[in-house]
Amino acid sequence: MKFSAGLLLYRIVEQRVEVLLVHMGGPFWARKDEHAWSIPKGEYDEGEDAADAAVREFTEELGAAPPDAATIELGTARQSGKTVTVFAREGDFDAAAAVSNTFSLQWPPRSGRFQDFPEVDRAEWFDLPTAGTKLVKGQVAFLTRLAGLLTGGPPGAGPGA
């Protein structure tokens, strides 16, 4: 089984919750926007602390460590054959300054040529309703959980909170 951990950074602007999402890099996602964004996350080995992995992956995908703040566990979900654990922290981050690590991919397929692509090609802040349309479907549950915690309502309070 594969494990992945992510860190969902949020801030409150004019009484509205915003979350920091990353647009997945590489040629498969280049022309997609709806459901082509992700919580900064990545795989980790069984036995490794998921919260530590989430911070490491945030740093690798955005080029800077996340703000030091209280960490809230948002639980797990299954996505693409992985168990994804997500944590949330309140803080700010300059999305325009994000610089991602890269991966190598044979492109075009079967061409024999390998190219390097950024793991994420940009980061952006979104309010919760917009984030729900941008985020890959397997991660939307984490928005719902965060909204429920922040509003003091039930976990299903919804991303429109």
CATH number (domain holding residue 8): 3.90.79.10
Distance of alpha carbon 50 from alpha carbon 27, whole angstroms: 29
Q: Are 91 and 66 in contact (CB under 8 A)?
A: yes
Pick from 32, 12, 61: nearest CA to 161 = 12
What does the pLDDT read at residue 92? 96
- Has residue 156 been placed in a domain? no
Mean pLDDT lowest for which of 28-37, 125-134, 136-145? 28-37
Domain count, the chain: 1
As a whole number, mean pLDDT of residues 14-38 equals 91
Residue 157 scores a pLDDT above 70: no
What does the pLDDT read at residue 158? 45
At 83, is the secondary structure helix, strand, or coil? strand
| DSSP type of residue 135 | B
Q: What pLDDT band is residue 7 in, cutting at 50, 70 and 90?
A: very high
Distance of alpha carbon 147 from alpha carbon 160, whole angstroms: 8
Q: What percent of the chain has pLDDT over 70?
A: 94
- Has residue 160 been placed in a domain? no
- Has residue 157 been placed in a domain? no
**Residue 79 belongs to domain spanning:** 2-151
Residues 6+ positions from 54 with CB-CB distance below 8 Å: 5, 6, 7, 41, 85, 86, 87
Residues 6+ positions from 47 with CB-CB distance below 8 Å: none
Distance of alpha carbon 58 from alpha carbon 103, whole angstroms: 16
What does the pLDDT read at residue 159? 45
Q: What pLDDT band is residue 63 in, cutting at 50, 70 and 90?
A: very high
- Has residue 161 been placed in a domain? no
Residue 84 scores a pLDDT above 90: yes
What does the pLDDT read at residue 153? 58
Tell me the pTM.
Answer: 0.89
- Has residue 141 been placed in a domain? yes
- Has residue 83 been placed in a domain? yes
Q: What pLDDT band is residue 156 in, cutting at 50, 70 and 90?
A: very low
Residue 130 scores a pLDDT above 70: yes
Task: Give Dmax (Cα) for the chain.
Answer: 54
